[in-house]
Every structure is written in C-alpha cells, then in structure tokens.
Amino acid sequence: MAIGDIIVGVDLGTSKVCTVIGEVNKFNQVEIISTTTAPCNGMKKSEIESIDEVAYALKKTITEAEELANIKIDSAYINLPGKYATIVQNSIVKEVKDKYSGVTSKDVMSCITEVKDISVPDDKILVDVITDKFILDTGKEVNDPIGAFCSNFTLKAQVILASKEYVKKLALVAKKAGINIDGMVPNVLAQRNFILDVNELNDNIMILDIGAGNTDIGVFEGSTFIYTNTIPLGGDNITSDIATVLDISGQEAEKLKKQYGLALKSFIDNDNDIIINTFKEEERTIKSSELIEIIEARVEEIFSLVSKDINAQNLKSKINNVILTGGGITNINKSDIAGKIILNIPVKISTSRLTSIIKPHFNAAYALTKYIAFRPFVRTSSNGIVQKSSKNVINQIVERVKEFFYS
C-alpha cells in the first residue's frame, strides 16, 4: 500500500451493484472518494442470470463514480460469493538464502510463489493467496519475517480458488461494462477486518452476511480462513413471504418488515392491529403477531440451514461466536437472539465503529477496498485508472495474482 493508491471495489449484490472508490491518504487510511449504486435484477441466488443486466448496472455505477471522482476507471476489484470459492490450506518451509543477512523480500516472494504452486482442478482458477502465518525456525510466530535472522521459516497460507464458469461470466460482465478485473476476494474475507472488533480478530468466529438474496458464511480460526459458502436465502425472501401470505404488494411488504421487524413472537409487547391493503384493493386488519410469525418462520429457516451446513462440515465445535452483518437481517430486531437459539452459539450483530460510519448499502464494497489496501507483501494496491488493457480477463486475473506480490 502506498499513499495515493486509488482502489475501486465493486459489490455485485442480488438487488443492486455498488461501487466505492477509495484513496490511501497520508494517515494510512482508506478515504472514500465516491460511492455509487444502481439497481440490478440480473443476479439470482448469487448466480449471474443476465450478463447484460449486470453489466448495465455495473457500467452505470462506474460511469457515475468517474464523474464524481473526476477520474477514468479501467479496472476494479470484485467480491466473490462464498459458494464459488474454495479454500486450500497449504504451508511451505523456506530455507533462507543467507541467514546472516536476515530474511529478505526475495525470500518471502519465493516462498509465496511456492505456496501457491498447487494442483488446481480443471473447473477452478486461482484468484488469491492469503499469507496467514510466518513461523521462524525458533517457533516464534511473526506477521512479517523480513529482517529476521533464521535458517528457515514456515509460511502457512490459504490459496483461494474460484469457479472457472463463474469467472467466465464475470469476465463477460466486465468486458461489456468496459472495465478489467484486478482480482476477486471472497465476500466474508473482505468483511472480516471491517465488521470485527479488535478483540474478535483472534477469536474463532463465524461471520454471517445476510443480504437481500443470500447469506454468505465465513468461518475463521483466529486469522485462518477455513470455510466459506452461500445459503440462497436472505431478506428479500422474508419480504416475499409477507407479500404472498398477506396478499399484498412487495413494496408494502417491505415497508411492514421495516416497521414491525421482529424475529421472535415471544418478544411482542403489544399485539397491535395493522391495517393492510390487499391486491384486491380491500382493506384488511391483521394482528402484528401474524406478521411477526411470517418473519420468524423464515429467519428460523435461514439459521437452520446455516446450522445444517456447518454441522455437515464438522465446524460447529470450532466456532466460539457468530457475528451478524448485512441489510437482510440486521434491521430485524432480536435476530441475534433467534440465531443463538437455533445455532446454540453466542450471536451478536456487528458493533464495529466502521459499520456505523459507512452507509449499509456500501459496506461490502468499502470492506473490499479496505482489504485490498492493507494486504501485506504487495507491491501496489492501486487499480488501473489511466491505462487500458486488451488482455483476456481470465488471463489478466491469473497474471495479477502472479504479479501482486513483491518481486
């Protein structure tokens, strides 16, 4: 990371595309230059169903961001849904070329090159390498081994693979939108440093990012990223349930969800009357408990599917705490208590100071820019702002991973 680096982060969501431009300032913070968003109906359950619709929305946010920031954007980083990411744990023991001179950047680069040299299945593509832990030959664990005097050191890393089919679709989206892809980062990995408090960063945590149409799962053992997946349910499913059961419009259902959002009937203080307008243009009176019952059923299903998923992966016993984030759930009161009951793990809504500063719509895109800005052992974080590239996008991603670290 260098002062002046400009980073463009894009969040392709179920209902919208958000773009954030951030610049690294002299205080080593990511300062937001512009934020833009556009509605998008081309994504369903994290799948790109309409390349044209997603590309149109992305192009719209990029064009508006360029006008606001007075720059030309040629490339961006894009978030990766958990269902398309595979985490491969790998470690390398590296002999130091000259132990009397200390570990050099070349030693580290060579080690990273070796740790990402794994067998990649034909249907996957390597998109990221996380340098998790460095352990010196004395057993001491360090964040940065450069300059340390030792005969060898061990790098423990996570190699991130992505679905090649999804990357191909994303490549077409980017091409139609007129930008290149600098890299893709699993959504929950980017969110980790954004939504966790300092005392949570070294804990065994599960992040649940519940958005409009999906719930992204991320499990961390301390700093080690061990699992990610996507459950194809989110806040829009709750809205749809309300609309269907009560025979009202989606717009009115969303309004009711926000106004009376409660995850558990047992916490109702007053079972008030609610007047609704049905599709038959008739007024109807229901009890608030009827509405809460609909919300509760879907919230319970979301947490139950998460529980089933982590149990299938034998991960539940490794998780000490669950952190909730995402606009699909955090505006529903007592959702953390509902989660705790179903998961049987302590659950809390993220209390990170940053989440209260950044508008919820832009959390994921900003988290992505912040993650990229503070990645260790990279030469530059900056996106292509002036020069254009005609390279094949998939080849560019591969080359970006190769060139991302010190040389």
Spell out the SS3 assignment of 341-402: HHHCCCEEECCCHHHHHCCHHHHHHHHHHHHHHCCCCECCCCCCCCCCCCCCHHHHHHHHHH
Distance CA 355, CA 339 (A): 20
The CA dihedral of 50, 51, 52, 54, to the nearest 10 degrees, is: 90
Are 368 and 10 in contact by the 8 Å Cβ rule? The answer is yes
> What was the pLDDT predicted at 16?
93
pTM value is 0.88
- What 3-state DSSP class applies to 188? helix
Say what the pLDDT of residue 2 is.
61
Q: Which domains does the chain have, with CATH numbers?
A: 6-83+164-191+359-403 (3.30.420.40), 84-163 (3.30.1490.110), 198-351 (3.30.420.40)
Q: Is 243 helix (H, G, I), strand (E, B) or coil?
A: helix
Non-local CB neighbours of 395 within 8 Å, separated by 6+ positions: none
DSSP notation for 104-168: -HHHHHHHHHHHT-----TTEEEEEEEEEEEEETTS-EES--TT---SEEEEEEEEEEEEHHHHH
Amino acid at 403: E
Q: Which two tokens stand for residue 163?
A: 């679905």
Task: Decide: helix, strand or coil at residue 230.
Answer: strand
CB-facing half-sphere around the CA of 332: CA atoms within 13 A: 36
The tokens of 295 are what? Answer: 């919300």
Q: Say how far apart CA 115 and CA 377 lie, in whole Å.
A: 14
CB 115 within 8 A of CB 109: no
Helix, strand, coil percentages (3-state) for the chain, rounded to 5, are 35, 30, 30
Query: CA geometry: angle at 19 spanning 13 and 24, to 5°?
Result: 135
pLDDT at 401: 54
In sequence order, the β-bridge partners of residue 128 are 160
Give, to the nearest 10 degrees, the angle between helix 288-312 and helix 250-260.
90
Question: CB count, 10 Å around CB of 390?
Answer: 6
From first to last of the 407 residues of the chain, give the pLDDT tens digit.
566 789 999 999 888 999 999 998 888 788 899 999 999 999 988 899 999 999 999 999 999 999 999 999 999 999 999 999 999 999 999 999 888 889 999 999 999 999 999 999 999 999 999 999 999 999 999 989 999 999 999 999 999 999 999 999 999 999 999 999 999 999 999 999 899 988 899 999 999 999 989 999 999 999 999 999 999 999 999 999 999 999 999 999 999 999 999 999 999 988 999 999 887 777 889 999 999 999 999 999 999 999 999 999 999 999 999 999 988 888 899 999 999 999 999 999 998 777 667 888 899 999 999 999 888 876 555 555 553 444 555 666 656 555 544 33
- Give the model's pLDDT for residue 406: 38
Q: How far apart are CA 142 and CA 153, in angstroms?
A: 10
DSSP codes joined into one string, 30-87: EEEEEEEEEE--SEETTEE--HHHHHHHHHHHHHHHHHHHTS---EEEEEE-GGGEEE
Angle at 129 between CA 171 and CA 397, to 5 degrees: 20
Task: Tell me how far CA of residue 16 lies from CA of 354, 361, 368, 371, in angstroms.
Answer: 21, 9, 16, 21
